[in-house]
Amino acid sequence: MAGILYLCATPIGNLEDMTLRALRVLKEVDLIAAEDTRNSIKLLNHFEIHTPMTSYHEHNKFEKGQLLIGQLLDGKNIALVTDAGTPGISDPGEELVRMAHETGITVTALPGACAAVNALVLSGLPTRRFCFEAFLPTDKKERRQVLEELKRETRTIVLYEAPHRLLRTLQELLEEFGNRSLTVVRELTKKHETVFRTTLAKALVHYTENEPKGECVLVLEGIDMEAVREKQQQDWLLVPLEEHMEHYLSQGMPQKDAMKAVAADRGVPKREIYAQLLRESGKS
Ligand code: SAM
């Protein structure tokens, strides 16, 4: 019989967040695959867990993954832990889970801490619809592409960021998205946990004056499409009607369609546009 792969969440700061189930499973499995064995040994020592450990990380995930799958097929039960939080969330894990499913190995997840979810619920921003973007790519082109897509995102956006890159990210977000509500959640579950409800512009000023420290999650308001539409309507209403019509007619649009487009831009019924055009041409 093949063994089971257990994805075992570990605390993101506060050791009391270790679950009873995770402790039992970590004691009972044959092997613990850890992202950084030097880091995980501290956790295991604290809880007096003496299960053998091996490393499984970003740079050995393919070769080591094959090896672990072999051991699972031989009937060994394996728990996967990462440095902190839920394996598979911006941590190695995804690849091993994929391999396990492909070989028909049972995978189960032991829930626990996850910085993204913890930050979202603390943020005070809408939680019903959100998207998790993890870390923005460091590659310039990819980063631009992701920011371009996120610009139009209406759901609350959750991002991970390292303190030394926080200022640059805030600056880019402000440039790309304009000012928006933001909650910066730092040091979750730790003694100095802070929930800073602010805006992109204010956060930029704050962290320029106060060096960013500690792990953080950015929770950003999605775009308010209603407000964008209203602003666009206000802008169009400042344009004379004839000029607005010309904008579409010059693109080869038939008169009727142009009136429809103009009405939509200005947020008024088409018949109003028709009546106003008639008045302006002196025919009414
Ligand atoms: N797997 C982890 C999870 O479930 O949250 C995430 C690992 S990812 C490599 C590390 C990032 O998570 C950090 O850069 C930070 O953005 C966020 N993070 C982890 N622990 C945190 C904490 N205690 N407070 C705030 N952010 C944290």
Average per-residue pLDDT for the chain: 95
Q: What is the pLDDT of residue 231?
A: 87
- Among 40, 158, 217, which is best to mutate for testing ligand 1, by the most ligand atoms less than 8 A from CB? 217
Q: Which atom of ligand 1 is nearest to the CA of 86?
A: 4
Q: Which atom of ligand 1 is nearest to the CA of 116?
A: 5
Q: What is the pLDDT of residue 282?
A: 77
Whose CA is closest to 162, among 128, 209, 115? 115
> Ligand 1 centre and the CA of 12: distance in Å?
7
DSSP alpha helix (H) spans, the chain: 20-28, 37-46, 61-73, 94-102, 115-123, 140-151, 166-177, 200-209, 225-237, 241-249, 255-266, 270-280
pLDDT digits (tens, 9 = 90+) for 195-244: 999 999 999 999 999 999 999 999 999 998 788 888 889 999 999 999 99
pLDDT digits (tens, 9 = 90+) for 30-65: 999 999 999 999 999 999 999 999 999 999 999 999
Mean pLDDT for the stretch of residues 148-158: 95
Confidence of residue 283 (pLDDT cuts 50, 70, 90): low
Is 90 exceeded by the pLDDT of residue 280?
Answer: no
> Ligand 1 centre and the CA of 29: distance in Å?
26
pLDDT digits (tens, 9 = 90+) for 230-259: 888 999 999 999 999 999 999 999 999 999
Q: Which atom of ligand 1 is nearest to the CA of 186?
A: 25
CA 222/CA 216 separation, integer angstroms: 19
- Read off the pTM: 0.85
Report residue 26 CA to chain centroid gap.
29
CA 130/CA 118 separation, integer angstroms: 13
> Ligand 1 centre and the CA of 59: distance in Å?
19
Whose CA is closest to 36, among 7, 59, 63, 3? 59
Is 80 exceeded by the pLDDT of residue 189?
Answer: yes
Instruction: Considering only CA atoms, give the Rg of the chain.
Output: 27
Q: Which atom of ligand 1 is nearest to the CA of 189?
A: 23
CA 20/CA 122 separation, integer angstroms: 24
> Ligand 1 centre and the CA of 4: distance in Å?
26
pLDDT digits (tens, 9 = 90+) for 69-127: 999 999 999 999 999 999 999 998 999 999 999 999 999 999 999 999 999 999 999 99
Q: Which atom of ligand 1 is nearest to the CA of 161?
A: 16
pLDDT digits (tens, 9 = 90+) for 70-86: 999 999 999 999 999 99
> Ligand 1 centre and the CA of 134: distance in Å?
9
- Which protein residues are within 6 Å of ligand 1, measured from CB? 12-13, 82, 84-86, 89-91, 114-116, 160-162, 185-190, 215-217
